[in-house]
Structure 1
Amino acid sequence: MRRNLLAIKRDMTVVLGMCLLMLAGYFVIPGTPTLDTTNTQQITVQRGDTLWSIAQRVTHDTMDIRHYVYTVKQLNNLANEGDLQPGMVLQVPKLSNHSDKGSTYMAQN
């Protein structure tokens, strides 16, 4: 009987330890990047660029590109995508908790 009680305590300790490790991992692993509209960067529009193509280059895979495009439109007072012209300088939001993908596109001044 005593041996079974010790085995149960050991098993409960292992399960509790695993739960604590998973919970700690949840707080350590960075979440989805968010848009920082107070700290923007500039991107110069190239020929063939659209808001969607720019968003695909600079956002994280888990982000909703529609939200990024909407935010860029708001920051630059754009009514639609047809307003983009090569050479135009756009203010775009920076990503907080940016990923490797977000840092592959260089903002052009």
Structure 2
Amino acid sequence: MPLGRSYLALAALAMTGGLSACAREKQTYCADANGVVVPDSRCDDGSPGHYYYTGSYGRGRAPGYRLSGGSRVASTDSIGRSNAGLPSTGHVSNGHVSSGGFGSSSHGSSSGG
């Protein structure tokens, strides 16, 4: 195989691996019991009925967006939060990347207050 084709094959393989790593990225959002995203501050104040949902939702989900699938943990459950890869206490921004993929320890946010 000529050098040019080997390089292209290697580049294609690297890109495929990169895309599958992005697919493993999981975002966390504060939402109500129905999975509707709410401002992340609602999970900070210990309001009953607010949860952290973690799944492959993508970034930038604004309040009002309905999440489906993934897992959920009560915002006040420190052990559950730790088990989900979140800090056991404190603020978690909507769009927080909790595991897998590129930038797995980075934070993101969506509009809303």
TM tier, shorter chain? 0.3 to 0.5
Q: Which has the higher helix share?
A: 1
Flag the structure with larger Rg. 1
